[in-house]
Amino acid sequence: MKRPQTQVAVLQAADAQEDRRIDEVADEADCKPEAATRAAFELEADGLLTVTEETVSHYELTEEGERYVRESLPEQDLYAAATDAGAKEGPVQMGQVIGASGLEGAAVDIALSNYARKAYGEIDSGEITANPDADPGADPEMLALEAVADGRVDDADADALDQLERRGLVDVREETVRSVRLTDDGVTALMEGVEVAETVDQLTPELLTSGEWEDVEFTEYNVEADAEDVRHGKEHILRQTANRVKDTLVGMGFQEMEGPHADAQFWINDCLFMPQDHPARTHWDQFALERPDEIRDLPEDLVERVRSAHREGVGPDGEGYHSPWTEDVARGMDLRGHTTSLSMRYLSGHQVGDLEPPQRYFSVEKVYRNDTLDPTHLLEFFQIEGWVMAEDLSVRDLMGTFTEFYEQFGITDIEFKPHYNPYTEPSFELFGTHPETGEIVEVGNSGIFRDEVLTPLGVECDVMAWGLSLERLLMLMYGFEDIRDVHGTLCDLELLRETEVMH
């Protein structure tokens, strides 16, 4: 038979003839009492050992008890004083007796109550008698107290011990003492020979399938030691942010848009009622393409309506711009400077067919701006774009929608600062409180699309829209200082690996 080391030692230390206390066994087995106890129970479960338990009471004198042993009990002092005063013959004045006894304070009460209990005499109306038959010299409580003090608890009267415990003169502590004794099987096993089982580091398939695991002992590990670094793949932090935004918007009833990154200026600028000589339409702001330089087909009727909106305006009192407008410019290809080009494609009905109100659409996609690369500006970044199409939308609806959206990201107290965009009126810059620093920061741009945008597209109800940069949201939420560390080929892998996941 093979047993783990501790079990073998406990088995060998146990005796078949008499119970042996576990602490003695542990001493002999050279292990801790807890380990010996655990081994004993395991051996008992296998029938090799019996374990018996008994409760032992330990008595100890309290401080008060120790003092009485050295001196005497207060009631004994009182009896002696009363006797001296002649109380055996008849009642004497109590004050006189107490004064003579030398008792003071709490000791007086203790003396009086026990005096009466033990029938040393009677106390009545300020007078005291002493019972001539009493024998304070042989007081059982005093004897028991002395027995405890001398370690002779077994000699002490049990009632007296209880009384001492009640009087707070001794403390009683109970202890479970386990003892073991070899069973016949245990004896047999020892006679047949018990070997120490090997300890193993690794639980192997062989150990499991062979059943050997039952006989092995596992080496103890330092479970507090550092483990090796494990690398896990992780979704890019900006993708996580994008997905969080997408989840939020889908939850608010928005459908996702999709469309070309390289697109005609028509969809990027002209549909948005950006005049063709607008300063932001130069190549310094948007990337114009060399190849291809022109889109092949634009919807003719829409081109005509957009041209008319630019040149003549929309509605009886619309003026349009006093800027040149040519289809050639509109056909020019750019990398989109905003994803509002997608909104134009969708609203025009050319992307997914004509849309009937109400509709909500969004995208979280890349846009391209010809700007200087610096810690907060990239040539490419993600724009969150969203719009709501419905009858009779007001600026209050716009405020309510965006307040709700930003609250999902911990940005509350959104302020709406009236602003100007060529494509929306009224327009608002959105400001919110930075969740970390408490600063007021710009968090987006919004507005209600102008008639000059919607009428050419064939939209007859209201559409409100807004946009913001995803990177800005990320920087607000996570406090990144240099966006180039995460986005682009200059990214630092260590930073990506260590960045907390979004939850």
Partner 1 sequence: MPVVDVDPEELRYLTGHDEKDDEELKSDLFDLGLEFEGLTEDDEFQLEFAPDRLDRLSVEGVARSLRYHYGDDRGVYVPSTNSADWTIEVEDQPEERPYVTGAVVRGLDMSEEALESLIQLQEKLHATMGRKRAKGAIGVHDLTMLKGAAATEGEGKSITYTSADPDEATFVPLDADAEMTPNEVVASHETGQTYGDLVADFDRVPAIYDAIGLFSFPPVINGHRTEVSEDSRDLFIEMTGTDQWTIDRMCAIVCYALEARGGRVERVAVEYADDAPGEYAGRTLERPDFAVRTKTVTHDRIESILGVSLDEREVVDYAERAGLDATPTTGDDAAYEVEIPPYRVDVIHPLDLIDDIGRALGFNSLEPVYPDVSTVGGRHDRSRLEDAARDALVGLGFEDLLNFHMINEAENFERMNLSVPDDGDGSDAGTVGLDEPVTIQEPYSEDYTILRTWALPSIMMVLENNTHRSYPQDLAEIGLAAGLDDSENTGVAEHRTVAGALARTDASYEDAKARLQALADAFDTDLSTPSTTHPTFIDGRAAEVVLDGESVGVVGEIHPTVLVEHDLELPVAAFELRLDGLA
Detail the residues annotated as belonging to a binding site. Answer: 340, 383-385, 423, 425, 449
Q: How far is the CB of 243 from partner 1 (least distance, A)?
A: 7
Interaction residues for partner 1, span 113-132 (CB under 8 A) = none
CB 345 within 8 A of CB 267: yes
Q: Using CB under 8 A, which of 340, 343, 348, 401 touches partner 1?
A: 401
The DSSP annotation for 344-408 comes to HHHHTTTTTS--PSSEEEEEEEEEE-----BTTB-SEEEEEEEEEEETT--HHHHHHHHHHHHHT
Peptide bond before residue 4 is cis, with ω within 30 degrees of 0: no
Our finding on whether 218 is near partner 1 (CB under 8 A) is: no
Residue 379 burial by Cβ neighbours in a 10 Å radius (0-12, 13-18, 19+): middle
Of residues 148, 189, 182, 180, the one with CA closest to residue 165: 148
Q: Which is nearer to partner 1, 77 or 334 (CB)?
A: 334
Q: Which residues are annotated as a binding site for L-phenylalanine?
A: 340, 383-385, 423, 449
Residues 461-490 that bind partner 1 (CB under 8 A): 462, 486-490
Is 325 among the residues that bind partner 1 (CB under 8 A)? no
Among 223, 232, 328, 356, binds partner 1 (CB under 8 A): 232
Stretch that binds partner 1, among 5-13, 101-109, 130-138, 241-249 (CB under 8 A): 241-249
Pick out the residues of the known binding site for Mg(2+). 425
Q: Decide: 161 and 170 in contact? Cβ < 8 Å.
A: yes
Among the candidate windows 150-158, 184-192, 210-218, 398-406, which touches partner 1 by CB under 8 A? 398-406
Which residue number, 115 or 387, has a Cβ lying nearer to partner 1? 387
Residue 185 CB, nearest distance to partner 1 (Å)?
54
Question: C-beta of 390: minimal distance to partner 1 in Å?
Answer: 5
Tell me phi and psi for residue 439, to 5 degrees.
-70, 155
Q: Which H helix or E strand runs over 327? A: helix 327-331
- Which lies closer to partner 1 via its Cβ, residue 73 or residue 242? 242
Least Å distance between CB 468 and partner 1? 17
78-107 footprint of partner 1 as x/- string (CB under 8 A): ------------------------------
Q: What is d(CA 275, CA 406) in angstroms, rounded to the nearest whole number? A: 32
255 binds partner 1 (CB under 8 A): yes
227, 291, 353, 503: residue in contact with partner 1 (rule CB under 8 A): 291
Residues 6+ apart with CB under 8 A from 378: 371, 471, 483, 484, 487, 488
Question: How do 462-469 and 440-449 pair as beta strands?
Answer: antiparallel
Output the CA torsion sign for 160, 162, 164, 169: positive
Which 3 state secondary structure label does DSSP give 38? helix
Is 58 a residue that touches partner 1 (CB under 8 A)?
A: no
Long-range contacts of 245-252 (CB under 8 A, 24+ apart): 245/364, 245/384, 245/470, 245/473, 246/362, 246/364, 248/405, 248/408, 248/409, 249/362, 249/386, 249/405, 252/360, 252/401, 252/404, 252/405
Choosing from 154, 175, 290, 460, the residue that interacts with partner 1 (CB under 8 A) is 290
- Is position 358 an interface residue for partner 1 (rule: CB under 8 A)? yes
Q: Of 362-381, which residues contact partner 1 (CB under 8 A)?
A: 366, 368, 370, 373, 378-380
Binding segment toward partner 1, per CB under 8 A, in 52-60, 71-79, 186-194, 315-323: 315-323
Kindly identify the residues of this chain, within the stretch 414-443, that bind partner 1 according to CB under 8 A: 415-420, 425-428
Tell me if 66 contacts partner 1 by CB under 8 A: no
Judged by beta carbon, residue 47 or residue 400, the one nearer partner 1 is 400
Which CB sits closer to partner 1, 75 or 263?
Answer: 263
Q: Which of 10, 11, 3, 456 is nearest to 271 (CA)?
A: 456
**329 is an interface residue for partner 1 by CB under 8 A:** no
The number of beta carbons lying within 10 Å of the beta carbon of residue 501 is 9
Strands 2-3 and 195-196: parallel
Q: How far is the CB of 361 from partner 1 (least distance, A)?
A: 9
Check residue 188 for interaction with partner 1 (CB under 8 A).
Answer: no
Q: Which is nearer to partner 1, 19 or 285 (CB)?
A: 285
Neighbouring residues of 172: CB distance < 8 A, sequence distance ≥ 6: 57, 58, 59, 165
Tokens of 13: 């230390």
- Given the complex with partner 1, which of 20 and 336 has the nearer CB atom? 336
